[in-house]
Every structure is written in structure tokens, then in C-alpha cells.
Amino acid sequence: MKRTGLTIALAASLALASGAALAGSCPKEMKAIDDALPAAKLDAAKMSEVKKLRADGEAEHKAGKHADSMATLGKAKTILGIK
């Protein structure tokens, strides 16, 4: 019985740690997008899409949806050509 409790505690700790890691990455991704925007050579539609994705990613981050935020910000980075 003690092993099961330990296993559950370990799994919960790992889940929280991975969520915290993603939470810390969102602002870095947003900064990379913000830094690339002034020099971006995009048409108006693509620029608008990037700005919307950036805003959506920040909203998801603030809502605690870090995996969703990273995916959304990743789409913006792809359009901007950021690796």
C-alpha cells in the first residue's frame, strides 16, 4: 500500500514539474515572437494572423493552458520563420 501512495505522489510531482516547465517557456516564446515582429517581411494578412496567434497564446498562458499556449505560439513562430 505504501508503494502505491509513493507512486501516485511521484506521478503527481512529475506532472506538476512538467506543467511548470511549460509555464516558464511561454514567456520566452512570446518574447521571441515580439523580437521578430519589427523586422518581419509578411503581408498584412500573415502579420495579422501572427499577432492574433501571439495574443491567443498569451491568453492561454494566463489561463494556465500552457501546452495549448506553446502550440499556438509555435504556429506564430513557424509563420515568422523562427526555429
Q: What are the boundaries of each domain within the chain? A: 2-80
Q: CA neighbours within 13 Å on the CB side: how many for 39?
A: 6
What pLDDT band is residue 43 in, cutting at 50, 70 and 90? Answer: very high
Compute the distance between CA of residue 11 and CA of residue 30 in angstroms, rounded to an integer.
29
Grid coordinates representing 49 are 494572423
What pLDDT band is residue 67 in, cutting at 50, 70 and 90? Answer: very high
Average confidence (pLDDT) over 40-56 = 97
Dmax of the chain from CA atoms? 61
The pLDDT of residue 83: 86
Closest to 73 (Cα-Cα) out of 59, 63, 64: 59
Compute the distance between CA of residue 40 and CA of residue 34 in angstroms, rounded to an integer.
10
Position 58, amino acid: E
Q: CA neighbours within 13 Å on the CB side: how many for 16?
A: 6
